[in-house]
Chain A
Amino acid sequence: MTALALIAAAALPFVTDNMFVVNLAVLMLIAIIFASAWNLLAFSGQGSLGHAAFFGIGAYASTLVAVSLGITPFITIFIGAGVAAVIGILIGLTCVRLKEWFLAMVTFGFAIIVQTLVVSVLAPMTGGWDGIPSPRLVSPAVPGYQLIEYYAILLITIATIIAIWYIMRSKAGLAFLAIRENETEARAAGINPVQYRLLAFAISAFIAGIAGALQIHHIGYITPELFGVDNSFWPITYVILGGLGTIAGPVIGTVALTIIWEGLKETGMTFARYVIIGIILILTIIFLPKGLISLPERLKEWKEQKKGKTEMLLPTGK
């Protein structure tokens, strides 16, 4: 399954020379990184409603460093992500003691505060609402730059997923799981919840920062709309649809939803697309709480239930 997905991703530019499709694939890869970042934080029991903040901070920091120092975006992406991680720790510090939806509120508000800062106090640097141009990841002057960009981002995506897989399986990952399931018991087992929650915040913000920087260096322009509520909600939708707390969930969710989204676009829908996404999200939460990844199991369960019912209805020979 994994191998098939990898082959498909690597072969994509050879199958189609339609640059629209390649471009879409790039944005999808970035969305996968972003969704995986959110997923890791949710894995530790912390559901953020403001991940656009880290996405945007990574993007702005990377752009500003790249512009002022003239360094290649390939390096500044990680500087931007580092800035996002530091701010992630700061916001994590306010969140570690909070319950689920207090935390959701704080993160949501944080994205709005950052946006306000970017368009007011920081406007001389960030260009305010108008935004500023951002250096491209690979200069358009290079022949075949789109393909280089695609493969570079594909490599970063794979590296991110492997890193998250490793973290989830490591001692830290087990600690995240323990804290999510029962904080008191985790504490009794010698896990320091504050330390591990901050770690989850830092890693998640770092990866979200990478995603933001990649997207902005791919598009070549940055505006404060990056901090919008929509941008905070997308990764959540992807992860819930795919399967919360799993490695493959964010990937499957992002791919499935992107295909649905673009397919609906073909039919000329505008607002109705969002309504359909909302309905899909709610149906998933109610009927498929573990996401698309659990669909085969659920189908089996449903079949057995049905069988059980028909057996009960059959006359028991007498």
Chain B
Amino acid sequence: MDEISIILQILFWGLYAGCIYILLATGLNLIFGVMKVVNFAHGEFLMVGAYITFTIFLLTGFNPYVILLLSMLALVGIGAVVERLCFRPILGTGKLNEIFLSIGLIYIFQNGAAMIWGDAWQSVKSPYDGITVPVGPLSVPLDYIIIMVVTALILCGLYLFLKKTTIGMQMRATSQNRKGAMLVGIDVERIDVISFGLGCALAAAAGTLWVVSGQVFNPYMGAIPAVKAFAIIILGGLGSIPGAIIGGLLMGLAENGAAYLLGGIWKDAVSFIILIVVLIIRPTGLFGGKEG
């Protein structure tokens, strides 16, 4: 293969990996924007979403892209319960407490999943497995293109939801000024539950797309993508959804570039090296403002 197609290949892989990170990071940003809560266990929701898709797929054999919606719906419920039982009681008691609580959630979700589904590696076979489409000089799996389209659709849907619906506007109001939102009669606790659920649903979408693309998964797979999603929102700016999209794409590209140039073992480490370098230069993140 000549050099140009290798570069194109890396770009394409980066774009695909970026889609998953974008969904995860956008969910995190939504939760942070509204609640100012840092949920380190966000990757566990990705993992649970993946397993729910997997289970429904085994039981019914539906097209996994259709199951995506069911999985997202299930995660709205799980997310709402977690918010109500775990995060609301400690809201406002300090950032460290939120981090520690997330560690407890990580223990519960990872090993709870291992109790239900076992800890072996699993995979879901997409109905479009093996079909490739020519894109310029490359021939790429059809699944990757569907994943990019689905990601774009979800993001557009989210945008419309935030801009046009009453709940979406209430969410934006709460995120801008919590006290002000309370004063104009918005039930901020209800908005918290909805935002957390929505953030978890985006994680479930990321998880489903992750498994549909042919990646293997097990109960412990969520930790690393979650931390990368954190790196992305630190790079892209807290609470900024466009920042999360740009950061996600950059992360996907950097990672796949590094894997090609330095070897696959560096894939995870390189994202943290980028993060640390950026934080040394700008302790509030690339586009970060006063928040944090």
Contacts and interface: CB of A to CB of B under 8 A. Distances in A.
Whether chains A and B associate is yes
Interface of A: 42, 47, 49, 94, 97-102, 104-106, 108-110, 112-113, 116-117, 119-120, 229, 233, 236-237, 240, 271-275, 277-282, 285-286, 289
B275 A278 contact: no
A43 B147 CA distance: 46
Nearest to B269: A116
Given A116-B268, A229-B223, A274 B99 contact: no
A286 B90 contact: yes
A101 B280 contact: no
Contacts of A113: 269, 272-273
Interface in B121-167: none
24 contacts: A47-B99, A49-B40, A94-B280, A101-B98, A102-B279, A102-B283, A105-B227, A105-B234, A105-B275, A106-B275, A109-B231, A109-B269, A112-B224, A113-B269, A116-B269, A236-B103, A278-B107, A278-B108, A279-B104, A281-B104, A282-B104, A282-B105, A282-B108, A286-B90
B276 interface: yes
A47 B96 contact: yes
Contacts of A42: 96
Interface string B268-292: 1101110110011001010000001
B100 A236 contact: yes
B111 interface: yes
B260 interface: no
B104 A49 contact: no
Given A47-B96, A116-B265, A274-B111, 9 more contacts: A98-B279, A105-B227, A109-B269, A112-B269, A237-B103, A271-B112, A275-B108, A282-B101, A282-B104
A43 to B, nearest CB: 11
Interface in B86-101: 86, 89-90, 93-101
Contacts of A237: 103
Contacts, number: 128
A278 B103 CA distance: 7
B99 A277 contact: no
A94 B101 CA distance: 25
A100 B99 contact: yes
A120 B268 CA distance: 13
Interface residues of B, number: 47
B275 A109 contact: yes
A286 B89 contact: yes
B237 to A, nearest CB: 13
B230 A105 contact: yes
Contacts of A286: 86, 89-90, 101
Given A113-B272, A274-B107, A98 B99 contact: no
A285 B106 contact: no
Contacts of A289: 93, 97
A271 B220 CA distance: 12
B189 interface: no
A277 B111 CA distance: 10
Contact of A104 (B90, B99, B111, B114): B99
Contacts of A117: 269
B165 to A, nearest CB: 30
B76 to A, nearest CB: 21
Contacts of B94: 100
Contacts of B97: 285, 289
- Which 7 pairs across A and B sit closest by C-beta, in order of nearness? A109-B272, A278-B107, A281-B104, A278-B108, A274-B111, A116-B269, A282-B104
B132 to A, nearest CB: 32
Nearest to A280: B104
B263 interface: yes
A264 to B, nearest CB: 12
A97 to B, nearest CB: 4
B100 A240 contact: yes
Nearest to B288: A102
A281 B276 contact: no
Contacts of A99: 95, 283, 292
Contact of B108 (A47, A100, A229, A279): A279
Contacts of B105: 278, 282
B90 A281 contact: no
B266 interface: yes
B130 to A, nearest CB: 33
B209 to A, nearest CB: 24
A19 B97 CA distance: 38
B175 interface: no
A281 B94 CA distance: 16
A109 B99 CA distance: 15
B96 A275 contact: no
Interface string B12-32: 000000000000000000000
A272 B272 contact: no
Contacts of A49: 40, 99
Given A98-B283, A105-B230, A277 B96 contact: no
A272 B115 contact: yes
B292 to A, nearest CB: 5
